[in-house]
């Protein structure tokens, strides 16, 4: 089965230019295309694993890289749909933040996002222990909490901010991200993960 790139209803963002969004969407579509190409090649290689052992082992590693790039970008772009929306102070998400982070969730998460290196600041929720796990996935395949659902995904690869803010502009981009974030999307993900 071939994956199709999704389309997103992204409004005009404050502090993240349309050109940057368009280029970023192009990169996302590249992940989908690469994943499809690799998946098809692997079907061919599976017919003779001995002959194709080397190529197969390389592509198997690349496959999840492309897949995670695809899915994380989908989670990322969806967070802008519907426009900026503040967190509801009475929501279950707000209550859970207060319990675990007091007032410090956002500065804590921003600090993770501002770590050096390309990757993703990701907030997960562990329904088993009823607690959040905030982490940093280097590129998009190192440091995942692989079994936990993603609640919030913040892309901090350079391509997300270079055009608008330059190589040292990650902090300004992270501010813009939060300014444009539709928290109701995050509240829905939390409700689904904690149900
Ligand atoms: Fe990206």
pLDDT tens profile 17-69:
999 999 999 999 999 999 999 999 999 999 999 999 999 999 999 999 999 99
Question: For residue 1, what pLDDT is reported?
Answer: 80
Domain ranges of the chain: 18-78, 92-194
Mean pLDDT within 149-157? 98
Average pLDDT for residues 106-118, to the nearest whole number?
Answer: 96
Question: What share of the chain has pLDDT > 70, as a percent?
Answer: 100
Short-list 38, 42, 112, CA closest to 68: 38
List, in sequence order, every beta strand (DSSP E) within the chain: 119-126, 131-138, 150-155
* Distance (Å) from CA 27 to ligand 1 centroid: 7
- Structure pTM? 0.96
- Inter-axis angle of helices 92-101 and 105-113, nearest 10: 80
Structure tokens of 104? 């410090």
SS3 14: coil
Does domain 92-194 fall under CATH 3.55.40.20? My reply is yes
How many Å lie between the centroid of ligand 1 and the Cα of residue 112? 16
């Amino acid at each position: 089965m071939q994956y199709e790139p999704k389309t997103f209803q992204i409004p005009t963002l404050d502090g993240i230019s349309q050109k940057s969004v368009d280029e970023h969407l192009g990169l996302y579509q590249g992940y989908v295309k690469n994943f499809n190409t690799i998946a098809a090649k692997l079907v061919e290689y599976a017919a003779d694993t001995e002959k194709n052992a080397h190529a197969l082992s390389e592509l198997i590693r690349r496959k999840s890289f492309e897949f995670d790039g695809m899915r994380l970008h989908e989670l990322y772009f969806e967070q802008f749909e519907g426009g900026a929306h503040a967190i509801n102070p009475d929501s279950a998400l707000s209550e859970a933040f207060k319990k675990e982070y007091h007032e410090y969730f956002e500065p804590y998460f921003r600090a993770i996002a501002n770590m050096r290196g390309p990757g993703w600041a990701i907030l997960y929720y562990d329904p088993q222990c009823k607690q959040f796990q905030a982490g940093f996935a280097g590129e998009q395949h190192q440091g995942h909490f692989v079994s936990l659902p993603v609640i919030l995904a913040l892309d901090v690869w350079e391509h997300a901010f270079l055009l608008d803010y330059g190589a040292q502009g990650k902090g300004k981009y992270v501010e813009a991200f939060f300014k444009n974030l539709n928290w109701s999307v995050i509240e829905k993900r939390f409700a689904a993960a904690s149900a």
